[in-house]
Amino acid sequence: MQLAMKHDLTVLLAAIVLGAAPGLTQAQPKPAPSPAVDDSEVDPPVTALDLEVIARARQLLNSPTVWNRNDTRQCPKPITRYSLYCAIEIATLEVEGTFAHRGAAMQQARFVVDEVTAKRDYRHRLKDYNNDPTTTFSDMTHIFDLTEARIRAKLATQGSPPKQP
């Protein structure tokens, strides 16, 4: 009996492989593509915590003497000199307790850099703006000003959800 079952299974597998059982070999529909893992234009909703993140980043990057002009987007601890990217990353960790590369405060700062540097094509907006030899410390503080204003405007139009721990 077992020999007959093995034979039947072998015949069925051969039929599938050779296409003799068309109903069993039809292609299954492909699942819908998943959204891009790292969409550089994602625009997550902002919260009041994002204003705190930008305020804290401004405190961290508060003078030319602590400005790291050679950003690598690596923020080793302990950190004593801050690039624009690292100031926002560290501030996000301190304020929110976690960090997301495409988090709201970071993304709003990226969009501000896009607006300010419309004629430049930066691969990594925050890093390249920070490292651009034409960028001044005054430009850096202006990015914080514009990012804060942008977050406030978004909060006004979307309504501010309660602060998250």
- For 82, phi then psi, to 5°, come to -120, 130
Considering only 86-95, 97-106, 133-142, which range has the smallest mean pLDDT?
97-106
- Strand partners for 103: none
Helices (H), the chain: 2-18, 22-25, 48-60, 84-96, 104-116, 125-131, 137-158
Mean pLDDT, residues 44-58: 95
Render pLDDT for 123-149 as a digit per residue (tens, 0 to 9).
Answer: 899 999 999 999 999 999 999 999 999
Residue 51 sits at the vertex; the CA angle it makes with 45 and 52, to the nearest 5 degrees, is: 125
What is the percent of the chain where pLDDT is above 70?
Answer: 73
